[in-house]
C-alpha cells in the first residue's frame, strides 16, 4: 500500500530534505521514525529537495508498506517519535503508482522579508534595514510569468534534463505583521531557483538593476549575471497540488 504524508518542518537544523552522508536531513529523520514503530525498513520519497536551512509549511512525501495500516494511528505514532521541528499533519492512501514528486501539478513557495529588526522572525525571514522598491520589484516579477527557460536562476551543474518551468504566480505582498512575502507558483522549480530570483529582484528593488536589466538577465541564460541567492531562512515550501484521482479516500 502506498501513502502520501503531508508534513511541515523547520529546516534550521538540517542539511536540507535529502539524506546526506554526515549531516542530519528531514528525509533521514522520517525514515528512522517510520521504520522504528512499523518494524520494517521504510523509504520515503519527497516531492522535491529543499536546501539547508529552508523550511516547509507543507511538504509531501510517499512511502510503501507491505501491510496496510490505519492512517491516524501512523500519524500519531510518527509524531511521537519525530523531533519537535518536524510535524506530520496527515497520512492518506493513494494509488500504487502515485508519485509525490512526478505527479505534482504545481508547487508554491513563499519568501518572507522583515523591514524591522525582530527577535521572533529572525530565523524565518530576511531582515532588510532599508525598504526596497516593491512596486518596481513586482513589475520585474511579472516577466517571470512569460518566461520558459530559467537557466539564469538555476544552480550550476545540476542533472536536470531541462531548465524549462511554467510560472503562474509571482508577486510581492504586504502582511498584517508588517513583513512582506514573495509568493511564486510553478509546475516545477530548479535547484536554488527561488532564492536566486529573490536575490535578483532585490537588486531591482535597490535600484541597482532596472526591469529591462532583469529581462536581459533572464534572456542571457547565464547564472553568473543574476544576483546572489537570498538567505535560506526566509524561504518556505508552502503548498503542493496533486490530481484528485490519485487519492483513494
| Positions marked catalytic | 51
CB 2, CB 74: distance < 8 Å: no
Facing residues of 126 across strands? 113
Provide the 10 A C-beta neighbour count for residue 90: 13
Is the Cα dihedral 53, 57, 60, 65 positive or negative?
A: positive
CA–CA distances in Å: residue 228 to residues 155, 156, 234, 237, 246: 11, 13, 14, 20, 38
Coil/strand/helix, residue 154: coil
CB 121, CB 114: distance < 8 Å: yes
At residue 147, φ and ψ (nearest 5 deg) are -105, 145
DSSP character at residue 180 = E
| Distance of alpha carbon 189 from the chain centroid | 9
Q: What is the largest CA-CA distance in the chain?
A: 59
In angstroms, the CA 148 to CA 151 distance is: 9
Provide the 10 A C-beta neighbour count for residue 45: 15
Question: Cell digits for 239?
Answer: 503548498
Amino acid at each position: 500500500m502506498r501513502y502520501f504524508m503531508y508534513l511541515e518542518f523547520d529546516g534550521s537544523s538540517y542539511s536540507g530534505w535529502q539524506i546526506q552522508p554526515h549531516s542530519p536531513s528531514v528525509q533521514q529523520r522520517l525514515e528512522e521514525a517510520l521504520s522504528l514503530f512499523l518494524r520494517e525498513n521504510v523509504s520515503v520519497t519527497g516531492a522535491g529537495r529543499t536546501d539547508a536551512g529552508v523550511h516547509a509549511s507543507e511538504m509531501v512525501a510517499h512511502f510503501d508498506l507491505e501491510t496496510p495500516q490505519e492512517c491516524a494511528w501512523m500519524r500519531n505514532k510518527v509524531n511521537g517519535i519525530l523531533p519537535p521541528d518536524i510535524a506530520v499533519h496527515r497520512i492518506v492512501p493513494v494509488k500504487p503508482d502515485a508519485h509525490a514528486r512526478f505527479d505534482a501539478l504545481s508547487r508554491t513557495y513563499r519568501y518572507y522579508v522583515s523591514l524591522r529588526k525582530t527577535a521572533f522572525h529572525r530565523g524565518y525571514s530576511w531582515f532588510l534595514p532599508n525598504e526596497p522598491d516593491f512596486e518596481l520589484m513586482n513589475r520585474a516579477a511579472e516577466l517571470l510569468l512569460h518566461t520558459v527557460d530559467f537557466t539564469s536562476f538555476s544552480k550550476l551543474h545540476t542533472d536536470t534534463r531541462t531548465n524549462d518551468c511554467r510560472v503562474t504566480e509571482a508577486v510581492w505582498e504586504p502582511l498584517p505583521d508588517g513583513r512582506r512575502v514573495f509568493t511564486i507558483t510553478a509546475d516545477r522549480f530548479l535547484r536554488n531557483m527561488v532564492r536566486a530570483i529573490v536575490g535578483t529582484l532585490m537588486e531591482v528593488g535597490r535600484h541597482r538593476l532596472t526591469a529591462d536589466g532583469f529581462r536581459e538577465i533572464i534572456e542571457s541564460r547565464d547564472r553568473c549575471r543574476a544576483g546572489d541567492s537570498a538567505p535560506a531562512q526566509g524561504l518556505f515550501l508552502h503548498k503542493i497540488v496533486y490530481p484528485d484521482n490519485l487519492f483513494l479516500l
